[in-house]
Amino acid sequence: MQAFSTALSSGALANLTQLDLSSNRIGVEGMQAFSTAISSGALASLQNLYLFNNQIGDEGMQAFSTALSSGALANLTQLDLSSNRIGVEGMQAFSTAISSGALASLQNLYL
């Protein structure tokens, strides 16, 4: 995931509207790298993001939530985070990001 995140940071996929990374065993470290990449605005056009079954846990969700709070995925309309072992701490971070208006365009959310 680190190599892919580095490629994302380059802006090579700036016009991407859909990304499916489901069932790729991203884990905490992979999610942290991905979150750093999207914080730079690398996927500003993204509308659909599927992260189903990646075991990102609380720490990965906290990193992702921080990226969301920066407005990195403001155009997102669909987000799938189901089956990721996200607990109370991760959901608290995500709830804070949502409360800040970070996902105002979101229409479908799967937890």
Please report whether residue 8 resides in a domain.
no
Please report whether residue 1 resides in a domain.
no
- CA-nearest of 20, 33, 83 to 59 is 33
Q: Flag whether the pTM goes above 0.75.
A: yes
- Which CATH number fits the domain that encloses residue 82? 3.80.10.10
Please report whether residue 53 resides in a domain.
yes
pLDDT at 25: 96
Please report whether residue 88 resides in a domain.
yes
What does each C-alpha distance from 40 to 70, 103, 109 come to in angstroms?
Answer: 9, 17, 23
Expressed as residue numbers, the domain containing 71 is 15-110
Please report whether residue 49 resides in a domain.
yes
pLDDT at 2: 87
pLDDT at 1: 87
The string over 51-87, giving b where at least 16 C-beta atoms fall within 10 Å of a residue's C-beta and e elsewhere, is bebbbbbbbbbbbbbbbbbbbbbbbbbbbbbebbebe
Please report whether residue 20 resides in a domain.
yes
Average pLDDT value for the chain: 96
What is the count of structural domains for the chain? 1
Q: How far is CA 53 from the centre of its chain?
A: 13
pLDDT at 61: 98
- 42-88 tens-digit pLDDT: 999 999 999 999 999 999 999 999 999 999 999 999 999 999 999 99
Collapsing DSSP states into helix, strand and coil, what is residue 45? coil
Tell me: pLDDT of 107 over 90.
yes
Please report whether residue 3 resides in a domain.
no
